[in-house]
Amino acid sequence: MGRRLKFIVAYDGTPFSGWQSQANGNGIQDHLEAAFEQISSEKIRVHGAGRTDAGVHALAQCAHADLPEHRYEARRWVAALNGVLPPTIRIVRASFAPLAFHARFSANAKIYRYRIWNGEVLPPLEHGRAWHIRDDLDLKAMATAAKLFVGKHDFKSFAANRGSPVDDTFRTLHRVQLRRTGHVIAIEFDGDGFLYKMVRLMVGTLARIGLGDASPAEIRDRLEAPRRIISGGRNAAPASGLLLVRVRY
């Protein structure tokens, strides 16, 4: 009988078409499945905790795969997979999990971090790692507004259309934290789940508040009347600043 391998994946999302398998074969999922097939000579399906968009990075995406036979110990799979994966995708660690475990459906919460470089010049090594905003941002106003996202709300107006309707658009954010270190503003979101482009749309709104182009009242209005105010993905922060930090089980 096969075993279920649970593994943590880190990746630079810049050269890929997002997590989900794509027709062009350039999804993170495609590369992982190709690596498993190269090692085992069998097609193995990989399931991830979340579908990060094109250009979004991950420190600790969680995934699982059902292996057809007891070939290697978990640590051997780490070395074998990293030996054939692109260098911008790395298996950080792995362990065997009960068959009842599911990377997506067993998850209790996810933590995302968004990075803004708030300075005149974006260093080359920050290209593709942060959203460059030259004008001064009012961090205090952004932090105060961010508190409005905490709690259980209908985030329909902070979501874009992925192509298929989502019946339940209520999500609970446990924490939204802003901190500034030099030119870098990091915004961390800890929640039980996130809709398509939800983090990027929240960041886009906070940035407009920080620039003085919007007020916190916009957040209150969009959370209180989500069916009336639909974003459609407009004003979303760029994907390059977003990072999946952790999945909690």
Q: Which domains does the chain have, with CATH numbers?
A: 3-97 (3.30.70.580), 109-248 (3.30.70.660)
Kindly report the three-state secondary structure assignment for every residue of the chain.
CCEEEEEEEEECCCCCCCCCCCCCCCCHHHHHHHHHHHHHCCCCCEEECCCCCCCCEEEEEEEEEEECCCCCCHHHHHHHHHHHCCCCEEEEEEEEECCCCCCCCCCCEEEEEEEEECCCCCCHHHCCCCEECCCCCCHHHHHHHHHHHCEEEECHHHCCCCCCCCCCCEEEEEEEEEEEECCEEEEEEEECCCCCCHHHHHHHHHHHHHCCCCCHHHHHHHHHCCCCCCCCCCCCCCHHHEEEEEEEC
pLDDT, tens only, 126-167:
999 999 999 999 999 999 999 999 999 999 999 988 767 788
Whole-prediction pTM: 0.94
> What's the rounded mean pLDDT across residues 83-112?
98
Q: Which residues are catalytic?
A: 53
Residue 226 pLDDT class (50, 70, 90 cuts): confident
Mean per-residue pLDDT of the chain: 94
